[in-house]
């Protein structure tokens, strides 16, 4: 999806860098990058550093960085002119013999709001007009729109980092305890939750190790709130 928009905007000086957030590293995310065969830089953030440094809390999210290395838009939901989910579901009849949990997940995802065309239009405007684009924010606006970082969120980041370390070291139960604490301290961070759930079940379904799962939490918060629409 990003490759198409990158091919359009790259002649204007825009570079797209995609980053997969996955503690499993190349073993987990590499095959998806290989399958996409991107022409732009495609990285893997195995330590979730973007969560910690920029406030990424779900995927896909994007930030805009100008030619001076200055952040001109903080993290926000970012679709590249198309919604992958919408493209997958368009004209497709969902097989009725899928497991009930999967059918319920697919039904819930159809309620998620996205406006990918609007985001792509804003990005095109920035590519054409640079700092004169109304979508390129001043530093004080970037700070104002950035996700606040109270002590609880910093503690959550520390617990999540410890959980990742222990999981890599083979202490799965110890990792779960820290992941659960990260979820409690930062309940709006979907990347923390999805990463922990994925270690237990690729579909992020219910398990005995966590008191929540993707479908339950999406229903609880409302599918329409899963992707807050960018302020454009």
The per-residue pLDDT for range 3-15, each reduced to its tens digit, is: 999 999 999 999 9
Q: What is the pLDDT of residues 79-123, one digit of tens each?
A: 887 666 656 555 566 677 788 888 899 889 889 988 889 999 999
Q: How much is the pLDDT for 95?
A: 72
Q: How much is the pLDDT for 85?
A: 60
pTM of the predicted structure, to 2 decimals: 0.90
Mean pLDDT throughout 71-78?
A: 97
Strand partners for 45:
21
Mean pLDDT throughout 31-59?
A: 94
CA distances to 86, 189, 203 from 106, rounded to whole Å, are 11, 21, 11
Q: How much is the pLDDT for 97?
A: 79
Cα atoms in the 13 Å half-sphere on the side-chain side of 211: 6
More confident residue, 89 or 26: 26
Q: What is the pLDDT of residues 125-137, one digit of tens each?
A: 999 999 999 999 9
- pLDDT over 80 at 53, yes or no: yes
CB proximity list for 35: less than 8 A, separation 6 or greater? none
For the chain, what is the mean pLDDT?
93
CA distances to 14, 24, 200, 216 from 160, rounded to whole Å, are 33, 14, 16, 21
Would you place residue 149 in the very low, low, confident or very high pLDDT band (cuts 50, 70, 90)?
confident
Distance from C-alpha of 119 to C-alpha of 114, rounded to nearest angstrom: 10
Q: What is the pLDDT of residues 189-205, one digit of tens each?
A: 999 999 999 999 999 99
- pLDDT over 80 at 227, yes or no: yes
- pLDDT over 60 at 72, yes or no: yes
Alpha helices per DSSP H over the chain = 2-9, 25-36, 49-54, 84-89, 100-109, 116-129, 139-145, 151-169, 172-185, 190-200, 214-221
- pLDDT over 80 at 184, yes or no: yes
Q: How much is the pLDDT for 80?
A: 86
Residue 100 neighbours by CB distance under 10 Å: 7
Backbone angles phi, psi at 66, to 5 degrees: -80, 180
């Amino acid at each position: 999806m990003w490759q198409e928009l990158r091919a359009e905007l790259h002649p204007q000086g825009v570079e797209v860098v995609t980053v997969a957030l996955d503690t499993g590293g190349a073993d987990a995310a590499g095959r998806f990058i290989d399958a996409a065969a991107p022409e732009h830089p495609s990285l893997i953030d195995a330590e979730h550093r973007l969560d910690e440094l920029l406030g990424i809390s779900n995927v896909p999210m994007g930030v805009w960085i100008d030619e001076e290395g200055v952040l001109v838009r903080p993290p926000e939901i970012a679709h590249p002119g198309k919604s992958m989910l919408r493209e997958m579901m368009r004209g497709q009849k969902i097989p009725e013999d899928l497991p009930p949990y999967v059918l319920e997940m697919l039904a819930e995802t159809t309620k998620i709001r996205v406006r990918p065309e609007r985001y792509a239009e804003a990005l095109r405007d920035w590519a054409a007009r640079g700092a004169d684009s109304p979508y390129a924010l001043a530093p004080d606006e970037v700070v104002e729109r950035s996700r606040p970082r109270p002590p609880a969120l910093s503690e959550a980041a520390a617990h999540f980092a410890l959980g990742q370390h222990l999981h890599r070291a083979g202490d799965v139960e110890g990792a779960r305890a820290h992941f659960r604490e990260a979820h409690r301290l930062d309940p709006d961070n979907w990347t923390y939750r999805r990463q922990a759930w994925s270690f237990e079940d690729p579909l992020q379904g219910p398990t005995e190790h966590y008191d929540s799962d993707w479908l339950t939490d999406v229903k609880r918060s409302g599918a329409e709130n899963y992707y807050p629409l960018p302020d454009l």
